[in-house]
Amino acid sequence: MWCWLFNFFAFVLYAYLFYEFKLYGETILQFFFMVVNFYGFYYWLKGKQQDHDIRIEPIAVQTAIIQMIIAAVGGLVFGLVLKNFTDAAVPMLDSQLAAFSLLATYWTSRKHIATWILWVFVDIVYVGMFIYKDLFLTSALYAAFVLMAAYGWYQWEKVKRKQNLGAGQL
């Protein structure tokens, strides 16, 4: 639960940093993160169980695919805007990462286990982008996020087995 509160301060700091490095997609993403962060905090607080176990909410594979297509198209449109109207450093990559980060954050707020799979892939690509932009400490942070997401996936898989989620769901 505390991560939702801690994240708010990280979003403000990173919005400034990403703006300075002309990663405008990431800058805007931080503000969306703040909104989804408050939603996630509320949703998790509201759905808190007495035993403090996470209650994973399944997502249908078809729904996940549709949402990923929407994220990809949204990222493409946003990338074209960044490319044509700003001096963004890497507009298409920046916008796709922003779009899929939004989706992963939404999935986290909804307690979908698929969030961890998506975060692993997104954070791996972030590591490369931040190295390219000479943001080495941020790259190291995102490498740690990859490990944290993999661990989260592992932990939630154990919970998922206890909950016996059905086939065709993530």
The verdict on residue 116 lying in a domain is yes
Summarised one tens digit per residue, pLDDT across range 20-61 is: 999 998 999 899 888 888 887 787 777 655 555 667 888 999
The whole-number pLDDT of residue 168 equals 60
pLDDT band at 67; cut points 50, 70, 90 = very high
Q: How many structural domains are present in the chain?
A: 1
- Structure tokens belonging to residue 136: 């080495």
pLDDT band at 162; cut points 50, 70, 90 = confident
Averaged pLDDT for residues 82-98 = 95
The verdict on residue 54 lying in a domain is no
The C-alpha atoms of residue 151 and residue 154 are separated, in whole angstroms, by 5
The verdict on residue 170 lying in a domain is no
* Helices 91-109/24-46 angle, 10° precision: 0
The verdict on residue 99 lying in a domain is yes
- If one counts every other C-beta atom within 10 angstroms of the C-beta of residue 123, the result is 22
Which domain covers residue 96, as residue numbers?
A: 2-49+60-163
Chain centroid, CA 100 distance in Å: 7
Q: Which of 74, 94, 79 is nearest to 23 (CA)?
A: 94
The verdict on residue 90 lying in a domain is yes
Per the prediction, the chain carries an average pLDDT of: 88
The verdict on residue 158 lying in a domain is yes
